[in-house]
Each structure stands twice: as structure tokens, then as C-alpha cells.
Amino acid sequence: MRRATAAAVTRLRRRAGPLSHQFALVVVIGAVPVLVALVVFSLLMLVSGDVAGLVGVIVVGVGGLALVGTRLIAGGILRDVEAIRDGLMAVGRGDREVTITTEARDELAELALAANAMIADLRAQAAARDQSDSARRDLVAAVSHDLRTPITSLRLLAEALDDDIVVDWETRRGYLARMRVHIKALSSLIDDLFELSRLEAGDISWSLERVSVGELVGETVEAMRVEAEAKGVAVLASVTEGLSPARANPEKLQRVLFNLIQNAIRHTPADGSVVVRAQPVDSGIEVEIADSGDGIAPEERDQVFAAFYRGGADAARTGDGAGLGLAISRAIVEAHGGHIWLADSSLGTSVRFSLPAAA
């Protein structure tokens, strides 16, 4: 009987809606027995004793029903308040998997929905923070690795020279040449790290001007031809005639082209090819660097523009370069108001980036 009554009261709460209506319902339930008692009291003055006793029993029953109904409604409201309180306390303890539910559709339900939205935001922020911490740890590990190798080599070479292990001049010159190579690699890495940090922080001081993308592509391809031919790779340029100039910084734009073309040559086998295309699009100008290499595995496509990421055969970090070229290219392109991405390609890898056209 109690369960059926509780279910009926819960349905009544849901139909009542806002808390103001529910409290009004409580008042009605509490006031009706009082009114009934007053009416009965008036009748008792006119009826016989037996009838009066029956009426008294009815009044007691109605009063009891009013008390039970009032307690059930108040109990439902209290349970909703406790559910919200317990949920928020759990969130305060660090639990981000909490979902708060209430029995009725009222202000408490709206409060629960707002709390659930807040918990979802906190959960997303925690996930982003964990991802950022993981990326930071990976970055520190990558920088440590790329610094350790040349520094270790420099230390060993310097110790060999200092201990007079190497006495003939030709061997000493060879050691010094190897030291210069490592010093140059360290300098390049530090410069790249500094540039990437400035780009990602928005600390950009270069000027933008009208740049002929076609001419810049031609110059860069020609400059990379010697390196490509040494590896047996053909480098070609394909530029749409009458291509409008882009609004860009020519030195930074050429840095992007150098990075992408050099990366394409590195991953293209002998007798392969690298094609650099530039064409107009609705948003401005689009440049593509396509190679005939092995391509990029699907599981690596989302990471290729991350700093220090080197997948495939370079995953063990034994190849040349620190893995910053694509990350710097992405930062430069985005600083120009453009976008860079991996395009679908049936053969090899196709990297594309867009630039706004000059006014």
C-alpha cells in the first residue's frame, strides 16, 4: 500500500511541475483536512452520537492521509536535494563520472541538468589536461633524446682530443669536423625549438606582403634539385598560369616549402618523384607537395604535424632531423591564416596547405 501511494505521489509531483506548484499542493493537502474537520465539527452539533463517531473516524482517516501525502512529497523533494548534494560532493572529491538524476521535472531537475553539464565540462577539461601533460612528457623525452646524442658525441670527441689519444693532425681535423657537425645540429635544434615556441605563443613579428607563389615554388624546387638528384628523385613544379599572389611573408613561406619538399625527398625511394603544385581555390591559393613514396600509415596520419613525431622507419629516432619540420610548417601556415593537412592519395603522401590571396 505504501509503495503504491509513493508511486502515486511521485506521479503527482511530476504532473505538478515546478516547486512552487508542489509546495502549493502540499498546502492544499494540509488545508483540506482542516476544512473537513471544521465542517464535521459543525455537523456534530446536529447529529446523533453514532453518526458523530463515524464522522470522527472519517476525519482521523483524512488527517492521516494528509500527513502521509505531505511526508511523501516532502521526502521526494528531500531525496532530489540529497542526490544533487551527493553528486556535487563526489565531484569535489575528484570523481568526474558522476551523473545526477532526480525524480520530478522541476527546478531541482533543471539544477541537476546544469550540474551534469558542469561535470561534463570538467571531464573534458581533465581529459585535455591529461593529453597536454602526456604531450609535454613526450616533448621533454624527445628533446632529451635529440640533445643527448650530439652532446655525448661531443663529450667523447673532446675527451679524446684533451687526453692526447689522437696525436696526428689529420685525425684531429676529422674529430673537429665531426664536432662542428654536432654543434650545427644542436644549434639548428635550439633555433627550431625557439621558433616553434614563438609561433605557438603567437609571438609573430614578420611582415606580410604580396608574394608570387609560382615564382617562390620555382625557386625552391630549383634549390632542392641537387639534393633530390643525389638521391635519384625527380623534383617537378606545376603552377597554374596567372596564379594570383598570396598575402604572406616570403621567407617564412619558403621555409614551409623547404621543409615539406625536403621531407618528401627523404621518404621517396630512388627513381621516385616529388611534384609541387600551386593552384587557385575559392579560399585563396592551395599548394600541394606530393611524393611517390610508401605513404603514411592510417594510424599515424593524425600525428604527423606534432612536434618531434617521426613515424614509420624513423620511429626509433635514428634518422636525420629532429621531427620539427612539419610542426613548424603547420605553425607558419596557421599564422598566415591558412590551413595544412594530409590529403587523400592513392600513391605516396600528399601534403596540402592553403594561403589567403593578396587583396
Edge-first strand listing for the sheet containing 234-239: 234-239, 273-281, 284-291, 350-355, 339-343
Beta pairing partners, 276:
237, 289
Q: Identify which of 348, 324, 196 has the alpha carbon closest to the alpha carbon of residue 267.
A: 348
Cell numbers at 208, concatenated = 606580410
Mean per-residue pLDDT, 272-294: 91
Q: What is the pLDDT of residues 8-54, one digit of tens each?
A: 766 766 776 665 566 666 666 665 666 666 566 655 555 555 655 66
Q: What is the pLDDT of residues 62-113, one digit of tens each?
A: 656 666 666 676 777 778 888 888 888 988 888 888 888 888 777 888 888 8
284-315: b or e for each residue (b if 16 or more CB lie within 10 Å)?
A: bbbbbbbbbbebbeeeeeeebbbbbbbeeeee
CATH code for residues 135-200: 1.10.287.130
Q: 274 phi and psi, to 5 degrees?
A: -130, 125
Mean per-residue pLDDT, 132-148: 69
pTM for the predicted model, two decimal places: 0.56
Contact status, residue 87 vs residue 115, Cβ threshold 8 Å: yes
Positive/negative CA dihedral, 28, 29, 34, 39: positive
d(CA 97, CA 89): 12
Does the pLDDT at position 312 exceed 80?
A: no
Domain range list for the chain:
2-105, 135-200, 209-355
d(CA 320, CA 149): 12
d(CA 121, CA 155): 50
Place of cell 665531426: 178
**Structurally, what CATH architecture does the domain formed by 209-355 represent?**
2-Layer Sandwich (3.30)
